[in-house]
């Protein structure tokens, strides 16, 4: 063994998956050997993840108020060769009253590529009914009667967070008899 190498297969660089490769070397004494290696698995493509949100199966618009449960579902895909290294994240279910933001979840493939974060949803849930604190103008007399027109001002309030909609709330009404 000390004659040295006379020739050998040059280094090879692969940029895509290949089944196998082989090389040969010959020493100065005329001895030769061959070797093979493979498979070589290469996946440079990041997987993808996206989120969609629903309320009772209907699409939910990010930032819209609702009084129902909001479900954010993730969809994952890997168009590279390696496949996802785990499962797509579980659904996020929002049922409590309040303002929330869904996760900007990511997913990885078995080659170690990580997706860009999923889109997020601003979830707003208000389960508290509005309340009225009506007042009369003019106030009724001691016998609880009026002898003129009366205006009832409803004084609606909402402590659940979404507020009242002036276009759909009766703010006052006048009774003439």
Burial of residue 22, with CB atoms counted within 10 A of its CB: 0-12 exposed, 13-18 middle, 19 or more buried: exposed
pLDDT band with cut points at 50, 70 and 90 for residue 105: very high
pTM for this model (two decimals): 0.73
pLDDT band with cut points at 50, 70 and 90 for residue 116: very high
Structure tokens at 87: 């499962």
Among 43-57, 61-75, 81-95, 144-158, which is the least confidently predicted range? 144-158
Contact call for residues 93 and 69 (beta carbons, < 8 A) = yes
Query: pLDDT at position 177, please?
Result: 60
* Bridge partners, residue 152, by sequence: 136, 173
pLDDT beyond 80 at 152: yes
pLDDT band with cut points at 50, 70 and 90 for residue 155: confident
Q: Is the peptide bond before 39 cis (omega within 30 degrees of 0)?
A: yes
Per-position DSSP letters for 75-97, written without gaps between them = EEE--SSS-BSSPPPPPEEE-SS
Q: How far, in whole angstroms, is CA 148 from its chain's centroid?
A: 59
Digit-coded pLDDT (tens) for 44-56? 999 999 999 999 9
Digit-coded pLDDT (tens) for 17-36? 888 899 999 999 999 999 99
Structure tokens at 157: 């309030």
Query: pLDDT at position 176, please?
Result: 64
Query: pLDDT at position 3, please?
Result: 82
Digit-coded pLDDT (tens) for 52-80? 999 999 999 999 999 999 999 999 999 98
Which is more confident, 172 or 127?
127
Nearest one of 137, 89, 80 to 109, comparing CA atoms? 80
HSE-CB for 167 with a 13 A CA cutoff:
0
Query: pLDDT at position 80, please?
Result: 86
Query: pLDDT at position 175, please?
Result: 64
């Amino acid at each position: 063994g000390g004659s040295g190498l006379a020739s050998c297969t040059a280094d090879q660089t692969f940029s895509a998956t290949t089944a196998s490769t082989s090389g040969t070397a010959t020493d100065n004494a005329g001895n030769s050997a061959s070797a093979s290696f493979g498979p070589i698995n290469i996946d440079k493509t990041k997987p993808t993840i996206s989120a969609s949100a629903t309320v009772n199966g209907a699409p939910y618009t990010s930032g819209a108020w609702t009084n129902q449960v909001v479900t954010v579902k993730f969809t994952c895909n890997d168009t590279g060769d390696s496949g996802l290294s785990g499962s797509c994240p579980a659904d996020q279910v929002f049922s409590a009253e309040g303002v929330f933001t869904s996760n900007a979840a990511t997913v990885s493939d078995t080659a170690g590529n990580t997706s860009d974060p999923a889109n997020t949803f601003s979830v707003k849930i208000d389960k508290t009914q509005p309340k009225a604190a009506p007042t009369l103008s003019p106030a009724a007399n001691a016998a609880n009667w009026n002898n003129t027109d009366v205006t009832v001002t409803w004084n609606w309030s909402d402590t659940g967070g979404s507020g009242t909609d002036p276009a759909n709330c009766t703010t006052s009404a006048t009774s003439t008899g």
